[in-house]
Structure 1
Amino acid sequence: MLLRWSIYFCGLLLMALGIVFTIRAGLGTSSWDVLHIGLFYTLGLTIGTWSILVGALILTLSSILTREFPKLGAYVNMLTVGIFIDLYMQVPFLQTPVLFTGRITMLLSGLVIMAYGMAFYISARCGTGPRDSLMIALVEKTGYSISRVRRTIEIAVLLIGWLLGGPVFIGTVICTLFIGTLAGIAIPQCQQFTDALLRRLFYQEEYVSNSVIKEKM
């Protein structure tokens, strides 16, 4: 469990960092952050706070769809990602690059980091976060692929965020079109890595336990 939760928190830290990269790139953010920033512009509070509040709403919807209470990790995700975002936003050297090439590099790097952060924390099986819980619930309900479901959600959220005044630019289009594809690639890879790591740890523990038993006999 210690290893699972360590992988989980590393994934959350990576995902929050990727989110901040896309925001700081200044080319338009991912659809969820268009929504969070639009709410920030309209109603105040902080971007991280809106991430938490929207997450609570989405988690409730996911629970209704699956008819199950979320795991502890889902609540941890809901709270910590918003906090991590606000903390990363205060880091002095995470600023918008001057050159366009720097901005596009920061945006694309943020997308990859976000996708693999999400994939790592999902692979720990400590409970998916609100937005990914909704994605997985819809995948199970509809039978559609992760990429297709994620892309549909992103577009719907983007429209709401845009109506609230969130920043929409070329980076938003890139995020909306490709985050689902990147997630579809990253999740199986990270799940395979985490499962192999956990199996290796389990067999090591079994070996040590059996060795201790033999010594006592």
Structure 2
Amino acid sequence: MRKTFMWRWIFFLVGMMIMSLGISMTIKGQRLGIGPWDVLHVGLYRNFGLSIGTWGIITGFIIILVTAAVLKQWPQIGTWLNMVLIGLFIDLFNWLLPDFGTLPGQVIIFTFGVLVLSYGIGIYVAPNVGAGPRDSLMLILVDKLGIGVKKVRTMIEVIVAIAGWLLGGPVGIGTVIIALLIGQIVHYSLPQCRRLLLKIIKEEESILFQK
């Protein structure tokens, strides 16, 4: 049981780190545009300072307060960790990764960033430790508005992207690519990561049983 618990948290934490790396890679290729939420965070950073990751934490905290008020309960610890760690990881990787001045360089880093981001989502969601603040908001709106996840997610991302664009965030073809492709790739990466997690847990249980 402890091994299962440990592996679920390892997947959760490693997945958030990989997802954050993917986000930072797309930010380094921002000439193409970046994801809707990152457009907002970059726009806030350009206008008010702080850092991109810090604005991710601040907006996540605001969303948590709103969702907690609606649901009348505080979210799981995984949601809080998601809010804080992803912001910290994004700032770390933005600092570690080099800038790409040429368009081909930005296209390459952006393309790989989309793949890394998608598999990071698959790894961190697989153990079902807790939804991120933005996912929680999406689920609440689905319940309150009575419409599908796709429509609600699209509506949120369009509103967020417009707000970020008005603040000077980089919107482009990459923003559309992320909005359309991430879900399609996660459709494959999530079950793959779940199978891997289950395989590791079963192997650990088998070893313990043999002892």
TM-score interval, smaller chain: 0.7 to 0.9
- Contact 2:19-2:116 within 8 A present in 1 as well: yes
2-structure distance, mates of 1:181, 1:34: 21
- Other structure's SS at 1:152 match: helix
1:161 corresponds to: 164
Give the Cα separation in 1 of the matches to 2:196 and 2:75: 24
Decide which of 21, 31, 35 is 2:25's aligned counterpart: 21
- Give the TM-score, by structure 1 length: 0.82
Is the CA contact (8 Å cut-off) linking 1:124 and 1:194 kept in structure 2? Answer: yes
Superposition TM-score, scaled by structure 2 size: 0.84
1:76 aligned residue? 81
Aligned residue identity for 1:94: P
Q: Using the alignment, how far apart are the partners of 2:154 and 2:175 within structure 1?
A: 12
2:108 alignment partner in structure 1: 105
The alpha-carbon distance between structure 1 residues 196 and 135, as it changes in their structure 2 partners (threshold 3 A), is farther
**SS at 2:125's partner residue?**
helix
Question: In structure 1, which of residues 98, 115, 118 is the aligned counterpart of residue 118 of structure 2?
Answer: 115
Q: Which residue of 2 aligns with 1:189?
A: 192
Cα deviation digits, residues 107-159 of structure 1 (max 9, x gap): 121112112112211112221221233334445664624x5543332222111
Amino acid at match of 1:86: D
Provide the residue aligned with 1:215 in structure 2: none
Any conservation in 1 of the 2:7–2:197 contact (CA below 8 Å)?
Answer: no
Comparing 14-23 with 181-190, greater Cα deviation is found at 181-190
Task: Structure 1: state its 5+ residue gaps.
Answer: 212-217
* 1:12 alignment counterpart: 16
State the secondary structure of the residue aligned to 2:170.
coil
**Aligned mate of 1:128, from 123, 128, 131:** 131
Q: Structure 2: how far apart are the matches of 1:195 and 1:154?
A: 32
Contact preservation (8 Å) 1:150, 1:180:
no
Q: CA deviation at 1:44?
A: 1.5
- C-alpha separation between the residues in 2 aligned to 1:134 and 1:111? 23
Where does residue 2 of structure 1 map in the other structure?
6
1:101, CA displacement in angstroms?
3.2
Displacement of 1:33 after TM fit?
A: 0.7
- Range 66-75 or range 33-42, more displaced: 66-75
Q: 1:29 and 1:13 mapped to 2: Cα distance?
A: 18
SS where residue 90 of structure 1 aligns? helix
Paired-residue identity, %: 37
Structure number, greater radius of gyration: 1
The separation in 2 between residues aligned to 1:30 and 1:71, in whole angstroms, is 25
Tell me the amino acid that sits aligned with residue 77 of structure 2. Answer: L
**Alpha-carbon deviation of 1:160?**
1.3
Aligned pair count? 205
